[in-house]
Structure 1
Amino acid sequence: MSPTNSLFRAARPAFRARQFFFRPKQSSARSQSTATGSQAATESWGKRMWNSPVGLKTVHFWAPVMKWALVLAGVADFARPAEKLSLTQNAALTATGMIWTRWCLIIKPKNYLLAAVNFFLGVVGVVQCTRIALWHQSQKALTEEAKDAVKS
């Protein structure tokens, strides 16, 4: 037996004695089901959000909240001229948004907030990549017109 394993076994009763994560100790499965039902009805929205598996104290909540900054930065770039935008950066944001939107719907628990932010990140990336591609096309057309004007 490894020393780490024996350490965890020795610490297990101490963790069971204390009520971590604010969970009330239930005496039986029957009382737990009735208490949970009545407790859920009387809990406030804030308390339910705090204790939820995808609530305020988890990465399932804070990752999408922070990722909205990328979406807002992309939306702010709509005002910038297309020649100043990076195609590789916006292609990476598009790919990230598309891949992670799908992944958020596969994982358990499903994280719809993260799926939404990734979807909008992909949409913003597609719009920016389209703007950049249209600008490159217009530049090619201008250079071809300039070459035709020089020849004639």
Structure 2
Amino acid sequence: MSSSRIGLRFFQNSRAAFRNATGPFRRPGAQGFRFQSSDAASAEQQSTFQRLWNSPIGVKTVHFWAPVMKWALVIAGISDLGRPAEKLSLTQNGALTATGIIWTRWCMIITPKNYLLAAVNFFLGCVGVVQVTRIFNYRRSLKDSPVETVKELETEVVDQAKAVASEAEAAVKKSN
């Protein structure tokens, strides 16, 4: 038997013991997870604030605070709409676009569905698309041929990716 299986069983057993435990941190009669109420009658008696507080996606969880903090990225992207396109970073805005698109989809797959996080990621993707379009249009206006602009953007992104990869390799070699 491998040590990972022993560790996994230990973890599963300790979680089961924690769920069934009674003590100062458990409500009398509480069963299951900490966010589930023991009966429907007590859920109806809770105020709106108590339901928000005890919700599986409520104020006590990362499901609430991650979207709240991520709005700062959306606000920063919106504030960059006033900056000239030549001062914007294509890689940064491309990364924000990809992040917004990928995580918007992922928020609809995970359980519980996190609509707050999906909304902020959707707007992050929208802001990123607008900024990347501005950068592309600016660079295209500098050149006569849009094909040359696309090739220039491609080489710039590839060069930056290679630089990041070499920095990562150097950091790994240094840590070993």
Taking structure 2 as the reference length, what is the TM-score of the superposition? 0.66
Residue 120 of structure 1 aligns with which residue? 123
Of the candidates 100, 103, 106, which is equivalent to residue 103 of structure 1?
106
List alignment gaps of at least 5 residues for structure 2.
1-5, 145-176
1:25 aligns with 2:29: yes
Q: Secondary structure at the match of 2:127?
A: helix
1:78 aligns with 2:81: yes
List alignment gaps of at least 5 residues for structure 1.
142-152
Question: Sequence identity of aligned pairs in percent?
Answer: 62
Residue 16 of structure 1 aligns with which residue? 21
Aligned AA (1:113): L
Q: Secondary structure at the match of 1:97?
A: helix
CA contact (8 A) 2:22 2:28 kept: no
Residue 57 of structure 2 aligns with which residue? 54
CA contact (8 A) 1:19 1:25 kept: no
Aligned AA (1:135): Y
Higher relative contact order (CA 8 A, sep 6+): 1
Of the candidates 126, 137, 141, which is equivalent to residue 138 of structure 1?
141
Identify, as 1 or 2, the structure richer in helix: 1
Runs of 4+ in 1 over 4 A off after TM superposition: none
Pair 99,83 (structure 1): closer, same or farther in 2 beyond 3 Å? same
CA contact (8 A) 1:102 1:115 kept: yes
Taking structure 1 as the reference length, what is the TM-score of the superposition? 0.75
Q: How many residues align?
A: 133
Pair 82,64 (structure 1): closer, same or farther in 2 beyond 3 Å? same
Residue 41 of structure 1 aligns with which residue? 44
In the alignment, the residues of structure 1 paired with residue 92 and residue 121 of structure 2 have an alpha-carbon distance, to the nearest angstrom, of 15
- Segment of structure 1 superposing worse, 132-141 or 38-47: 38-47
Q: Secondary structure at the match of 2:110?
A: coil
Residue 69 of structure 2 aligns with which residue? 66
RMSD (CA atoms): 3.0
Q: Secondary structure at the match of 2:21?
A: helix
Q: State the Cα deviation string for residues 30-62 of structure 1 (Å, max 9, x = none).
A: xx99x7333222211111111111111111011
